[in-house]
Each structure stands twice: as structure tokens, then as C-alpha cells.
Amino acid sequence: MSEQQVTRWVMTAQGEPCEARIEPLADPPAGEAVVEVAGCGVCHTDISFLHQGVPTRAALPLALGHEISGKVVALGNGVDESLLGETVLVPAVMPCGECELCLGGHRRICRAQVMPGNDRHGGFASHVTVPARYLCPVPAAVMAKHELWELSVVADAITTPFQAVRSSGLTEGDLAICIGVGGIGIHGVQIAAAVGAKVIALDIDDDKLAVAREHGAAAAINTRDLGIKEIKGQVKAAARELGAPSTRWRIFETSGSKPGQEAAYALLNQGAHLAIVGFTLAKSELRLSNLMAFDATVQGNWGCDAALYPEVLAWIGDGRIKVSPFVEKFALADINEVLDRAHAGTLQRRGVLVP
């Protein structure tokens, strides 16, 4: 690989534009693979690193980006040769697969995990070198209906809410409340609806709520000018109209905002489950005794177990989850403009950077 080059757009300091760096493409270490990037989605986490004071685990300069799809072009020692040439998804969080946590079924909290764009160079580049163990080949049936670049967002925007829904125990006939239905939230709506749940979408944007209705939400509530009590009242009324259960609500907070998180916590009722999927540095004051009184649970959601990726791709293949309407293609060279628009909230769909 030494004659090939890799172009990376690296973050050099918080708040500064990314810079292009070109250098020789090194051979992959044992157990790893080089993936030629087809697309890398722009996530709120990237904006958190670049603009909101969240530190990366690896030192700068660093190429961000953890929603990656591409083609395997080189293998390190010990990697199954059948992987060479495969079109793959790169999981956003890759565990080691060998430690006590991994062997005990707790792969998402593996202490040796690798997250591209955080622990090492990520997908805002022409190539990325990653552990090969959990690379997920994309089935031909999925590729027949999609372009590889657009599937990059599966690696976080779709798999993360899929994990949240799976962890919540949501089943047919349950009530799912999705708070923040742009970005990853619209996929949470689709997944909950595909399970057979009755979905109520909450957002402060009428356009996003309209899209949520088109893709599985049975009710939609604009919370922009509503206080907590009003939100609770409207959600209860909507639940009654839908014939949904009055207890054991499944609440998915994907807005990554303080108001969203506070509304989500306020909606807890008997036996409810709250999944915190979005991220914010903002702090909230909560009465934790509500958890005791309602016998409710609150669960964090650090990415998705890589073992679930094939199932998610199967759902996409049979049409239960739509991808194409929610992504927009941009040239990697336009990265700084796209990141600025993502930070300003002016992207209508999830941006995918394509080398």
C-alpha cells in the first residue's frame, strides 16, 4: 500500500476549519483492514467535537467521521481473505471481541473499543484503517436498491435507534414516544412503527413532524410553545385517541437537547422506559425518586452492538426502514461548508461526504 496515498480532512483545533492532509497509505496492521470510503455521514457528535467542547480521545490533528461505508481494499495478517473487495459498513463502535466484557455480552462498553473519528482517524477521508472483526458486508439485495454512499448513515443514525428500540423491549401495541424527529429521530419513528407500536412524534418543527407522520407516526405534537404540563396533557390525550396503553410507555429522547431531555423525563409513568439516545452537555435538575415511584427505568445508549448490523440491513432490504429520503450527498472537499451548515442546523437531510 506504500505507493498509494490517503487524503484526510483533519480537525486541528476546536472551532477551526478542517484541513486536507495527504500522506502515504500504510499497510494495515494484523487483524485490521483498509476501507476505501464511499461515504461518511455527518453526525451531531462530529459537531460536538468540532464546536461544542467535547474532547476526542485521540490527540489532534484527527479526521472525524464515524458513519462509514466503503470497499475493503487491503487486509492485515490474520484477516479472512474473503473480505477483500467486499462492500461494507464500518460499525461506529467496534469492540475488541476478546475481553471479559465482550465475552460476557457487554460489547458496547468494551474498554478496548475503537470508534473512528474519536479513537483514531475516521471517515472524513479517502481511506480508513479499522479493525476487521466486525466489518459488516452489505447484502446484494440491499445494494440493488441503494447506493453505497447513502448506506453510510446506517452505521449510527439508523443502528443506534434500532439498538434503543431493541433494548427498550418495545413490542406490538405499545406506545412509543419519539422526541426530536429530525436526524436519527426519524429512523427511531420508522423502527418503532415497524415493530407495530403506536408512535407519537414530538418536535418543534412542523415540517419534521409532517415527515414523521409520513413514515410511521400516528400522532404528532409541536412542543415549541408548550410547557411541561401542556406536553404531558397533549401526549396523554393523543395516547387515549390512539387506544394506546396508559402505562409502560417507551420514550426515546433523540433531540440531544435540554428541553427534550426534561420533557422525556417528565413523561415517565408506571413501568415506563426512557432511552437517552441524543447527547448534550447541558445539565438538568431531576427528581430521581420518580424512578422509584413509577418502577421506571432510564437507559443510556452508546451506539449499537455490531452484531445487530446484519439484521438492520435486512430491515432496510425489505423496506421496513427507508434510507434514501433522509440523506444528501456532498463532496468531501466541501466538508467545511457542510459542517458549518450542520452546526447551524440548516441541512434538511443528513449530509454524507463522498470522496
Task: Indicate if 290 and 207 belong to the same structural domain.
Answer: yes
Using a 10 angstrom Cβ sphere, with 0-12 exposed, 13-18 middle and 19 or more buried, the burial of residue 314 is: middle
Which residue, among 11, 91, 20, 21, has the nearest Cα to 52 in the 3D structure?
11
Task: Indicate if 134 and 196 belong to the same structural domain.
Answer: no
**Cβ contact 131:154 at 8 Å:** no
What residue numbers bound the domain in which 25 lies?
5-156+304-354
Task: Indicate if 287 and 342 belong to the same structural domain.
Answer: no
Task: Indicate if 51 and 20 belong to the same structural domain.
Answer: yes
Task: Indicate if 177 and 123 belong to the same structural domain.
Answer: no
Task: Indicate if 267 and 327 belong to the same structural domain.
Answer: no
pTM metric for this prediction: 0.96
Task: Indicate if 240 and 292 belong to the same structural domain.
Answer: yes
Task: Indicate if 237 and 327 belong to the same structural domain.
Answer: no
Length of the chain: 355
Task: Indicate if 311 and 261 belong to the same structural domain.
Answer: no
Dihedral of the CA atoms 298, 50, 201, 222 (nearest 10)? 120
Kindly report the CATH number assigned to the domain that includes residue 291. 3.40.50.720
| Cα angle, residue 99 at apex, residues 96 and 104 outer, rounded to 5° | 110
Kindly report the CATH number assigned to the domain that includes residue 91. 3.90.180.10
| pLDDT the model gives residue 258 | 96
Rounded mean pLDDT of 325-352? 96
* Res. 1 pLDDT band, cuts 50 70 90: low
* Res. 3 pLDDT band, cuts 50 70 90: confident
Task: Indicate if 221 and 271 belong to the same structural domain.
Answer: yes
Task: Indicate if 46 and 185 belong to the same structural domain.
Answer: no
Task: Indicate if 141 and 76 belong to the same structural domain.
Answer: yes
> What are phi and psi for residue 316, nearest 5 degrees?
-65, -40
Domain count, the chain: 2
CA distance 355 to 334: 10
With b for 16 or more beta-carbon neighbours within 10 A and e for fewer, the 233-248 pattern comes to ebbeebbeeeebbeeb
